[in-house]
Structure 1
Amino acid sequence: MEAFYGLFIILGLLAIQLFLSSRNNKYLGAILPVLLVVFLIWSYMTDRIDSLLKVFLFLLVGMVAFLLEWGRGREYAKNKQKKELEKMKMYDTK
């Protein structure tokens, strides 16, 4: 049951990352990766994670997932901006 909740937390974090990354400010997408690094360092320092290898593996997997979502969000924002610009150009020509 705990794994089930963990899956929902991970999916929720990825959805938040996609939302933040698709805003006009591209730096909003950096919030969750920075929080991940801080959380992993804190977990290692307080012995919640006992191995430095685990920290690096969590960091690698987390960063890859967040960067993929960041890329998808930036692409969505770029396409949205392009569509709005095309609409504006269409109304200007009428």
Structure 2
Amino acid sequence: MFGFGIYDALIIAGFLGLQFFLSARNSAYWGAIIPVLFISWLTWLLVSGEIKSILAYLLILSIGFIVLLLEWSEGRKALRNRREKELAKMRSYDMN
């Protein structure tokens, strides 16, 4: 079905890093870009016959989507923490 090598692992890690980066932006919608591309790519593989089984498609889709959703959540937490630190810094300047 799929050959998995070191380059594939690096590409996946790059996409996960990009997902985290986009999710940590001010607009939460930026984090939807990679999941939409992922779903489109997998659907294309299914339609073109690269993925032979609907079950394999659904399994890869669900696991990938869960991982991307977790990265989105971590990115949003990072943004929230960054905002809280900035707010605490501004409050400390106001007290002086």
Q: TM-score, normalised by structure 1?
A: 0.93
Structure 2 spans left out of the alignment, 5+ residues: none
The one of 38, 41, 65 equivalent to 1:39 is: 41
Name segments (4+ residues, structure 1) moved above 3 Å: none
How many pairs align?
94
- Amino acid aligned to 2:22: L
The Cα of 1:62 is off from its aligned counterpart by 0.5
The one of 8, 11, 21 equivalent to 1:9 is: 11
Residue matched to 2:25 = 23
SS across alignment from 2:5: helix
Percent identical among aligned pairs is 43
Q: d(CA) in 2 for partners of 1:47 and 1:84?
A: 50
Q: CA RMSD in A?
A: 1.3
Q: Cα deviation per residue 1:9-53 (whole Å; 9 max; x = unaligned)?
A: 111111111111111111111111111111111111111111111
